[in-house]
Amino acid sequence: MSTLSERILGAPAGEFVDRAVDRAYVHDGTGVLTLEAWRQIADRVVTPPRFYVMFDHIVPANNSVTATLQHELRDFALEKGFCFSDVGGGISHQLMAEGEVMPGEIVVGADSHTCTLGAFGAFATGVGATDMAAIWASGCTWFRVPGTIALSLEGGLCAPAGAKDLALTYVGKLGMDGASYRALEFIGDGISSLEMDDRLTLCNLAVETGAKAGMCYADHTTRRYLAGRGKEIAIQAAEDCSYEREMAFDLNDVVPVVACPPRVDTVRPVTEVEGISLDQVFVGTCTNGRYSDLATLARGVRGKRVAVRTIVAPASESVLNEAVRTGVLADLVQAGCTILPPGCGPCLGAHMGVLGEGEVCLSTANRNFRNRMGVGGEIYLSSVETAAASALKGAITSPEDLYAD
């Protein structure tokens, strides 16, 4: 019997395979590099519409050089008939999660956090710009089928701990290279208690362990989510199979945690680092910029005022629209939060929230490497719940009281 990645790629772990790609996407950063590589190796593009170009990393453009490169890539995408999302559309991974990716598909993106989309029971992984250029020209690419580590989830999360706390917990257990070129497969009865947004967060951080993919089986939750977007799917039944390793997590034991700089796997309970003064709180990214995240933040800060600059970036236009429709956006603005256009925002340190020397940020993103958000700045990673409590205090704070049931 096969693991989910073996089933989708059609070969046992360790074998090299050539496979047609179901969906392939780039963003404004990697798309520029892919276009340059494509011009050197090819003179054709196979028939879309399975190719996507989505502007999300540095949007709106931060200077004239960026704007010129984006202009060139925009013209190319439109000329070739690619599915295209411009400024304000949102983060590529989120847009692909809004009814594009289906269970059983092979999905590649020129960004390491493409693994997010394994939440739908797809094999989704990141590739480099040269590989993506070859995919534009041929529609195919090669893989070495990864071995699989199973993360067995039991029980249910207890507020105020959330899926981000679980994700950081497993990264802390595995380490930043503990799953190198492996697939992480989330199994067990506990997965049924997690909504799609939670599963997207879990799979998003798989690459922070070195994993090639993070995957959940498509179940009734997946079917309900995609049916709401007009897509009908079949359930994926797990098979008896041999995993390289299996790790068990009791969700009832998960507590709010933070990842301390400069490593994602340096994970500590929030209670151990409470009181660290903050200059900025950032809520958003492909990890925690979905509507449920914004609603969670609004629930925590509604009727209060943040004590430190707090930047919020919706993950997509649809997320922003829903936040407007429900009043969540008004709650955030009234609490003193600054709302950015849908996109990656300051996550990569390009603009709209870059840190200064010696500044400290608590972020709901997925990486806290040295100088990522600004030279000399420090980044702590947390859940939205912890970010809300900390924004109100101006220092890292446990969300226990703020989100008490």
CATH superfamily to which 152-253 belongs = Aconitase, Domain 2 (3.40.1060.10)
What pLDDT, in 10s, does the model give residues 343-400? 999 999 999 999 999 999 999 999 999 999 999 999 999 999 999 999 999 999 999 9
How does pLDDT run across 106-154, given as a tens digit for each residue? 999 999 999 999 999 999 999 999 999 999 999 999 999 999 999 999 9
Cβ contacts of 281 within 8 Å, gap of 6 or more: 306, 308, 309, 310, 311, 361, 362, 363, 387, 390, 391
Q: Kindly report, residue by residue over 166-216, the tens digit of the pLDDT.
A: 999 999 999 999 999 999 999 999 999 999 999 999 999 999 999 999 999
How does strand 106-109 pair with strand 182-187?
Answer: unpaired
Single-letter residue type at 228? G
**What's residue 405's pLDDT?**
60
The answer on pLDDT for 47 being more than 90 is no
Q: At residue 257, what is the residue type?
A: V
Q: In a 10 Å sphere around its CB, with 0-12 CB exposed, 13-18 middle and 19+ buried, how is residue 290 labelled?
A: buried
* Structure confidence at residue 43 (pLDDT): 81
* pLDDT at position 404 over 80: no
Helix (H) or strand (E) holding 272: helix 270-273
Tokens in use for 2? 């096969």
Residue 1 has pLDDT above 90, yes or no: no
Its CATH architecture, for the domain 4-144, is 2-Layer Sandwich (3.30)
- CATH match of 257-393 with 3.40.50.11540: no
- Indicate the domain borders of the chain: 4-144, 152-253, 257-393
Task: Give me the sign of the Cα torsion angle 15, 4, 149, 123.
Answer: positive
Q: pLDDT tens digits for 50-83?
A: 999 999 999 999 999 999 999 999 999 999 999 9
Instruction: Give the model confidence (pLDDT) of 265-311 as tens digits.
Output: 999 999 999 999 999 999 999 999 999 999 999 999 999 999 999 99
Q: Which of 271, 304, 270, 306 is nearest to 394 (CA)?
A: 306
